[in-house]
Amino acid sequence: MKLLNSLVGGFAGAIALNCIHETARQFIPAAPHIHKIGEQAVVKLTDAGKIKRPNDNRVYAVALAGDIISNTIYYSAIGVGPSSKRFTKAISLGLTAGTAALNLTGPMGFDDAPVNRTTETKVMTVAWYLIGALVTAAVINSLERVKKF
């Protein structure tokens, strides 16, 4: 039951994060383009596996799916442990994810410009991962109160 709540909450946080990213990049010039890093990862994996590279739409779709799955799993860790510390954990994990997006992208062999272009881009990157984590904590808490899950 607790695992399901954590996964549902993590999924909600991952969806919130991606909705913010995808919407903002359409309207805010300095918005992070985190999808480009995911697309780079898909291309690297297909090239390394000597798999035929999919077209651009498929690369985007695979990157988005991978992003949602990985963020769901990551954010679901917010549900582990006492509920009294859930929002503290959410803040910690959200800030960690955002900071990692800024600082690990380049060393992992990806172009980090999509998240590091400007100070504004960097702030949005960290803030949006934090929002996803807070959504996760709120959903898990709500599910635990309902006690139907």
* Per-residue model confidence as pLDDT tens digits over 97-118: 999 999 999 999 999 999 999 9
Residue extents of the structural domains in the chain: 2-146
The confidence band for 23, taking pLDDT boundaries of 50, 70 and 90, is: very high
- Read off the pTM: 0.92
What is the spatial distance between Cα 71 and Cα 13, in angstroms, rounded to a whole number? Answer: 8
Residue 148 has pLDDT above 60, yes or no: no
Could you say which DSSP state residue 148 is in?
A: -
List C-alpha distances in Å: 122 to 13, 36, 59.
Answer: 20, 15, 24
Residue 149 has pLDDT above 50, yes or no: no
Mean pLDDT, range 85-91, rounded to an integer: 97
Residue 89 has pLDDT above 60, yes or no: yes
Q: What is the pLDDT of residue 52?
A: 85
Mean pLDDT, range 55-72, rounded to an integer: 95
The mean of the pLDDT values for the chain is: 95
What percent of the chain is modeled with pLDDT above 70?
98
For 5-42, letters b (16+ CB in 10 Å) and e give bbbbbbbbbbebbbebbeeebeeeeebbbbbbbbbbbb
Helix axes 86-103, 56-76, angle to 10 degrees: 140
Q: What is the pLDDT of residue 6?
A: 97
What percent of the chain is modeled with pLDDT above 90?
86
Q: 122: Cβ–Cβ under 8 A, 6 or more apart, which residues?
A: 102, 115, 116
Q: How many residues can be counted in the chain? A: 149
